[in-house]
């Protein structure tokens, strides 16, 4: 086993999106800052309604998937297929835009804390134009296991821990995403396998933890994409207050990426086609 070291730190930048929702963006803050197959990671977290109340009114997507993980709060998704999904504490919405979806994502609360993440996962060329799909995943349908002082909630992918294979709520054969929310107990040391073929990062959102490689301990940066080097295992050591972090890994697609706002394709011509299709109402046809 080879422990993965820290390769690059991408601190999240404050920005706003939708109708003025305040977010912290790490991956995707610029089009050159990505980790194939992931395009973007936004962290939203506020107790101030003015930071989230405007939500994300009706807008299109084509060519990739969005994964929204709500830690705290209540958001309503509605799309052109007639899907309506209530995203609540601990739930996940997995939306496959494919050839096209038009949806809205609106807060259903006027006060209190809204906290969570939205991750954009690219699709390979062969899947970009497949029919749109949508899944509302309830918290109780997300596998959770404990291992060596850590609690791991496995939203996507497969992890083999102590000889037992655990499969998350979603699997994808092309990009093989692993998406886990890991809570590390204070001072606990936990190792998890992350296959060599996958690009991987850790996003620390609470507390502190070290990444252990041999004799070295490197503190992970808070609210940052801590991108990992090659290897097939990660080892974490929780700080005095423990830590909460996301493990995000996936198989790189290795194709050209051309993005224009909510459309992510392989060529400029395909982006122009997406714009024409959207303008003429054929994005979702």
Q: In what order do the strands lie in the sheet with 133-137?
A: 13-17, 21-25, 38-46, 114-122, 64-72, 92-96, 133-137
Rounded Cα distance, 139 and 92, in Å:
7
Which residues participate in the annotated binding site for Fe cation? 59, 61, 103, 105
| E strand segments, 157-215 | 158-161, 164-167, 178-184, 189-193, 199-213
Angle in degrees, CA 277, 283, 285, rounded to 5: 115
Residue position matching structure tokens 């089009």: 31
Residues in CB range of 249: below 8 A, 6 or more apart? 157, 177, 178, 194, 195, 198, 199, 200, 201
What are the tokens at 87?
Answer: 């995203």
Q: Determine phi and psi for 102, rounding to 5 degrees.
A: -125, 120
| E strand segments, 73-148 | 74-79, 84-88, 92-96, 101-107, 114-122, 133-137, 144-147
Rounded Cα distance, 180 and 150, in Å:
12
Rounded Cα distance, 86 and 233, in Å:
35
């Amino acid at each position: 086993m080879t422990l993965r070291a820290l390769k690059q730190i991408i601190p999240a930048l404050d920005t706003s999106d939708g109708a003025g929702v305040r977010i912290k963006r790490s991956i995707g803050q610029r089009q050159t800052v990505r980790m194939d197959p992931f395009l973007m990671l936004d962290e939203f977290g506020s107790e101030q309604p003015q930071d989230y109340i405007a939500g994300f009114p009706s807008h299109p997507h084509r060519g990739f998937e969005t994964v929204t993980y709500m830690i705290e709060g209540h958001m309503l998704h509605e799309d052109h297929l007639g899907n309506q999904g209530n995203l609540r504490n601990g739930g996940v919405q997995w939306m496959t835009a494919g050839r096209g979806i038009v949806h809205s994502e609106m807060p259903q609360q006027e006060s209190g804390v809204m906290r969570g993440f939205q991750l954009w996962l690219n699709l390979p060329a062969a899947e970009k134009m497949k029919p749109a799909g949508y899944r509302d995943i309830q918290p109780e349908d997300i596998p959770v296991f404990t291992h060596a002082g850590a609690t791991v909630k496995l939203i996507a992918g497969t992890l083999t821990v102590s000889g037992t294979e655990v499969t998350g709520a979603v699997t994808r054969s092309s990009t093989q995403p692993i998406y886990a929310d890991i809570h590390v107990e204070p001072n606990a040391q936990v190792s998890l396998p992350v296959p060599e073929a996958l690009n991987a990062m850790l996003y620390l959102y609470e507390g502190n933890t070290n990444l252990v490689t041999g004799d070295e301990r490197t503190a992970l940066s808070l609210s940052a994409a801590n991108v990992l080097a090659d290897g097939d295992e990660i080892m974490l050591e929780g700080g005095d207050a423990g830590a909460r972090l996301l493990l995000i890994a996936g198989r790189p697609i290795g194709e050209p990426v051309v993005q224009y706002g909510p459309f992510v394709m392989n060529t400029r011509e395909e982006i122009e086609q997406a714009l024409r299709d959207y303008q003429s109402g054929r994005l979702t046809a």
